Structure 1
Amino acid sequence: MNISDLKGKKITVMGLGLHGGGAGAVRFLSLSGAKVTVTDIKSKEELKPSLEKLEDLKDITYVLGQHRTEDFSKADMILKNPAASWMDKYVKLAMDNNVPVEMDSSLFFKLCENPIIGVTGTKGKTTTATLIYEILKSAGKDAIKVGIGQASVLDKLEDLKKDTVVVFELSSWRLSALGRSKLSPRVAVVTNIYPDHLNYYKSMEEYANDKKNIFLYQARGDVCVINADNEIVRGFEKEIKPKPVKFSKNKISNGNSVYLENGSIYFNDGVDERKVVDEKDIKLRGEHNLENVMAAVGAAWAAGVELGAIKKAVLKFEGVAHRLEVVRELDGVKYVNDSAATMPEAAISGLNSFSEPVVIIAGGSDKNLNMDEFAKTLAEKAQVIVFLKGAATDKIILAMKKADPSLVDKEFAVADSMEKAVELARREAKEGDVVLLSPGAASFGLFLNEFDRGDKFKEAVKSLK
């Protein structure tokens, strides 16, 4: 498929949304000559920020506050928002009428002729993908990041040159679309798999199956980088066609691998074992970030980068926003934004990254995840806990009281805004402490998304006097 094939096509964009991706897709399709209809169950008033971004575009039909059957049954293509289920009645109507349903990921793959390094996992996707991108740039390669944060996907196609390497962060939703089109990236990276999004998926197996699409349609000459320490990912190995590149916190002697030994990261190309970097020189905090670095090293090697260039980029890399991001130090207290920790395992990793006493801001909305281990870790390691209001918070508090009878009558601090949470945390923090936002839960309800939650934390912290 070429971009020119979109010209004159009747394309329905299902879900404009407020995060930027929908507006970016509409702009790309319109400028490519497609006849675009935008449909969203949200009202014009609710979608005002996105609509303002598209005011300069003409000949776009908007159907807001509803969906019409004809926009799905009589279109040439549907571009589906990730939030819409494949079982949605309008999506099924389109497919029943042989109208192809795409997402931005599948359409990008079909229109992109450049090599793609795809990164997925429950934790560590963004850090790993960003580090791969930085390594490629450091090695003098032309590279672009796609699918990271709230940036639009399809308009990145216009930035591609003949030798551009694409680094694409792939969520389970975006991978579901690739699976339906039987597409996988040339280099696939799986950082780890843990229970997540079980408010969307019926089971853990269904979630893991979408993740598998990152490698299921690879050719034997492709590369798949996998976490040998993660039980679920190890179970994928028999389904991977290429010989995998494994990474581990323990030495791997056979095959292509990246591993940790005696405080250093090594790379084994199947013949020689060479040291890449010493752990103490890595600027990223936390054991989980060592896994992200090892995953990026394996992917960069697969992309043809020399170890010297890999080391240079790793030593410079300081991380990404909303992931153990140091915001400020005030009165001897360090404030750290880890809002991207939207699941309990991620928050546990964040909390375990500090030897200093931690005042943690945790909790929020529920994704139908088990909070028992997080509750136990909070009780054992957090000096003080300030909760954000939400169903996940209720689960965590219940689990803490169930595990420790001495907490049964304890009243926990629960804030209904980030400003209040930061105010309560500051009141409790002493010199030498860390105030850590690491929720271990979803953000919806009080915030637009985890990025909005992190931004509001940063705003509140920076306003402290």
Structure 2
Amino acid sequence: MTPFGKLKRDFAGKKVLIFGLGVLGRGADVAKLFVEIGAKVTATDIKTAPKLGPSLKRLRGLPISYILGRHRAEDIVNTDVIIRNPGVPWNHHLLERARQVGIPVLMDTALFMRYFEGTSVGITGTRGKTTTTLLIRALLSTGNRTVFLAGNATRKANCRLLTHSSQSLAVMELSSWELQGFRDERRSPNIAVVTNLYADHLNTYKSMEEYAADKETIFLFQNKRETVILNRENPYTKKMAERVRSVVRWFSKEDFPSSWKLPLRGAHNFENAAAALKVADLFGVPKDIEARVFAGFSAVEHRLETVGRYRGIEFVNDTTATTPIATIKALQAINQPTILLVGGNSKNLPLEELPGEIEKHVKAVVILKGTGSRLLVKALKPWKDLKVYYPSAFDQAVRTAIKLASPGDVVLLSPAFTSFAEFSNEFERGERFNSLVKGLTKRKEREK
């Protein structure tokens, strides 16, 4: 029986509760998949129907029951299995209740791993996960093997990918939330990569140690013959090696050949490339092909991505920089006068050296709305010569940045905080930035 056939056998006819639909698409596809395999599906989300519009549109006409705007205790105990969205806390009180009465609480990607018979490569870390994942996929796709993206790297239900054969290779971007599901399943990928570890999500985790423990799940259940690839330069990943039972391989940015081209901004991207290179070497990818893949790789969407130019001004979208360290890396990567769009809601993270780096690299600062912005403004007060502006909303902030910029400048959206003061997620924030920049480039065309 195929892996997908086994999934269907185990869940057909079962009552399945989707706990958190979300708005990014994968939660909706998980619900759709379980309908397709014959489960009786109920979906619940604390968001109301208007806020879940895109997800509900995808599910229109399907036999799904909905409980929206709240979660109900009776739904937890009146089901056979719960599929938890990664955005829902592992220790949600209703999920704790479900576990107490013996109802399985599963996650899509971890469930995929239960059935998948091919080889898995998992990538986690605080920064660089997506870029490293896509680099690895590009490198491994140069051979005869079938390589596909899974985890956070796809909007599809991961269990839908079980149609791939045992000869295929899954390259998975894994958040700390998704790795909680791996811990419950007591599974780790065959090859694990940890790009780095910095303070993050401390508005959800009680401590850095708790956050790191979830990340360590990526190698915790490997056998002695499997491999974990760790960052030699990061203090946290160096400590992780003490708890590894599998084979450890190290990387640093110095491992990337100096004669090779990498058309990505920032020293941190050489770290990402070096990590990907270690994986490619495990699979025997020839060096000339590796060099060609790196040279042809372009910036990943929403990550130091140049999205337009107008009257000599470059616009760079780095909306996924939701931590101070990410914005520090972005500022260090740009060697031009910079107008910085920064701010948003706090994740209770230390600002680290961000104020000093802003003073060193930035021509003017435009503050975005949010709880974290107040902390940053206070931290910037010692630099009295720094120009700081306080628009009332995001669109006005972008327009202010444009007015402040001169030919040769960069307008950089690298917020250092979450987007929730004005947007539902950082991608929506980035798309709005792109839309405003696109409006400028259209105006430029009309002016010709």
TM range (shorter): over 0.9
Question: Which residue pairs with 1:282 in the alignment?
Answer: 262
CA displacement at 1:41 relative to structure 2: 2.2
Unaligned runs of 5+ in 1: 251-258, 266-277
Structure 2 residue 117 is the aligned partner of structure 1 residue 137: no
Greater shift in the superposed pair: 367-376 or 229-238: 367-376
- 1:217 corresponds, among 202, 221, 228, to 221
CA displacement at 1:46 relative to structure 2: 2.7
CA displacement at 1:357 relative to structure 2: 0.9
Question: Which residue pairs with 1:423 in the alignment?
Answer: 399
Structure 2 residue 299 is the aligned partner of structure 1 residue 312: no
Question: Which residue pairs with 1:113 in the alignment?
Answer: 117
Question: Which residue pairs with 2:358 in the alignment?
Answer: 378
Question: Which residue pairs with 2:75 in the alignment?
Answer: 71
Greater shift in the superposed pair: 165-174 or 74-83: 74-83
Question: Which residue pairs with 1:294 in the alignment?
Answer: 274
Question: Which residue pairs with 2:51 in the alignment?
Answer: 46
Does the 8 A contact of 1:372 with 1:396 survive in 2? no
Closer/same/farther in 2, CA of residues 463 and 71 from structure 1, 3 Å limit? same
Structure 2 residue 212 is the aligned partner of structure 1 residue 208: yes
Question: Which residue pairs with 1:273 in the alignment?
Answer: none
Question: Which residue pairs with 2:232 in the alignment?
Answer: 228
Q: Distance in 1 between matches of 2:293 and 2:163?
A: 23
TM-score by length of 2: 0.93
Question: Which residue pairs with 1:86 in the alignment?
Answer: 90
Closer/same/farther in 2, CA of residues 136 and 372 from structure 1, 3 Å limit? closer
Closer/same/farther in 2, CA of residues 360 and 47 from structure 1, 3 Å limit? same
> 2:396 aligns to what SS in structure 1?
helix
CA displacement at 1:158 relative to structure 2: 4.9
Does the 8 A contact of 2:33 with 2:157 survive in 1? no
Does the 8 A contact of 1:6 with 1:32 survive in 2? yes
Closer/same/farther in 2, CA of residues 10 and 186 from structure 1, 3 Å limit? same
Question: Which residue pairs with 1:444 in the alignment?
Answer: 420
Greater shift in the superposed pair: 146-155 or 15-24: 146-155
> 1:75 aligns to what SS in structure 2?
coil
Q: Distance in 2 between matches of 1:385 and 1:165?
A: 44
AA aligned opposite 1:116? S
- 1:461 corresponds, among 437, 440, 443, to 437
CA displacement at 1:150 relative to structure 2: 6.4
Q: Distance in 1 between matches of 2:415 and 2:87?
A: 22
- 2:17 corresponds, among 12, 16, 20, to 12
Q: What aligned pairs does 1:147-166 form with structure 2 within 5 A after superposition?
A: 147-148=151-152, 151-154=155-158, 156-166=160-170
Per-residue CA distance 1:257-311 (angstroms, 9 max, x = gap): xx25xxx35xxxxxxxxxxxx25x2111110000000011111222343333222
Unaligned runs of 5+ in 2: 444-448
AA aligned opposite 2:291? K
CA displacement at 1:411 relative to structure 2: 7.4
Greater shift in the superposed pair: 159-168 or 145-154: 145-154
- 1:360 corresponds, among 329, 340, 344, to 340
Question: Which residue pairs with 1:275 in the alignment?
Answer: none
> 1:282 aligns to what SS in structure 2?
coil
AA aligned opposite 2:342? A
Q: Distance in 2 between matches of 1:363 and 1:143?
A: 38
TM-score by length of 1: 0.90
Does the 8 A contact of 2:115 with 2:162 survive in 1? no
Per-residue CA distance 1:28-56 (angstroms, 9 max, x = gap): 11111111111122222332221111013
CA displacement at 1:220 relative to structure 2: 1.0
Q: Distance in 1 between matches of 2:363 and 2:102?
A: 58
AA aligned opposite 1:436? L
Per-residue CA distance 1:376-397 (angstroms, 9 max, x = gap): 1111211111111111111111
Aligned residues: 436
Q: Distance in 2 between matches of 1:301 and 1:156?
A: 29
Question: Percent identity at matched positions?
Answer: 38
Q: What aligned pairs does 1:181-200 form with structure 2 within 5 A after superposition?
A: 181-200=185-204
